[in-house]
Structure 1
Amino acid sequence: MEKNNSYLPAAEGVLRGFIITVVLLLIFAVIMTFIDVSESVSSMFYLITTLLSIMYGAIYAVRKIKRRGWFIGILVTLLYLSILYIVSVISGNSAVIGTDRMLRFFLAVFVGALSGIIGINL
């Protein structure tokens, strides 16, 4: 088996994760036009969307690279969250990182590492 030293699939995993995010957010936007959704439901949906996107991106990247599952999963997560944070700050949202955001960050990193481990074993 030939070793693949390129981490380009990690960037592809992040891109695919963002595609999943956009599709799910468009579906949620359509649902929100017909149904009044509470803030807690919206927050939960955004968290689930983020975690599903990270899972998909990490599993995709690890299956392409075929080694270092947990590391690639964390790498995809950090790239994904960094881009999401930058876009959030540019769009005018608060740059303050509170305990809620830190908990979400650690949950996302855990899910990314776990997805990388799962992806290497699929």
Structure 2
Amino acid sequence: MENNSDVIRIGEGVVRSFFLTLILLLVYAIITSFVDTNAKFDSIYKVVITALGVMYGAIYAVRKINRRGWLIGLIVGMLYMIVIYLVSVLNGRGLALSSFSILRIILALAVGTLSGMLGINI
């Protein structure tokens, strides 16, 4: 990072990711209050929410910084997943990582990196 504004832009990207995640979770809560869903659909929806949140935050941050897209996207994805993990630990889930959690982390890092590359070229 060359200056503090890059760090601020990355932080803004992560915060925007969380707002999009919150909105999508609210939509999901409304849908599931009217329709019964199974556990497989819940898992898929969590992965899609994670991917969309990271994608939006990475593209936003890269568009503002306008260089090193893959690195900025990777950082946004990593920070997003660290905060998600810390929130789940504080929520009482413990420190253990399941295979699904590891898959979500790898997916978030890959989506962040690819979204960063996409954001720099848009």
State TM-score, norm by structure 2: 0.93
Q: How many residues align?
A: 119
Whose helix fraction is larger, Structure 1's or Structure 2's? 2
Q: Distance in 2 between matches of 1:28 and 1:104?
A: 18
Gaps of 5+ in 2: none
1:48 aligned residue: 48
1:55-114 CA-to-partner distances (Å, cap 9, x unmatched) read: 000000000000010000010011110111101110112321132221221111111000
Tell me how large the CA RMSD over aligned residues is: 1.1
Q: Distance in 2 between matches of 1:107 and 1:19?
A: 19
2:60 aligned residue: 60
1:107 matched to 2:107? The reply is yes
Q: Distance in 2 between matches of 1:99 and 1:24?
A: 24
Q: Distance in 2 between matches of 1:43 and 1:103?
A: 11
Q: Distance in 2 between matches of 1:14 and 1:100?
A: 22
Question: Which runs of 4 or more aligned residues in structure 1 lie more than 6 Å from their structure 2 counterparts after TM superposition?
Answer: none
Gaps of 5+ in 1: none
Return the letter of the residue paired with 2:100. Answer: D
Return the letter of the residue paired with 1:78. Answer: M
2:73 aligned residue: 73
2:119 aligned residue: 119
SS at match of 1:91: helix
Return the letter of the residue paired with 2:111. Answer: V
2:26 aligned residue: 26
Q: Distance in 2 between matches of 1:42 and 1:31?
A: 12
Q: Distance in 2 between matches of 1:39 and 1:74?
A: 29
Q: Identity rate of aligned residues, in percent?
A: 46
1:10 aligned residue: 10
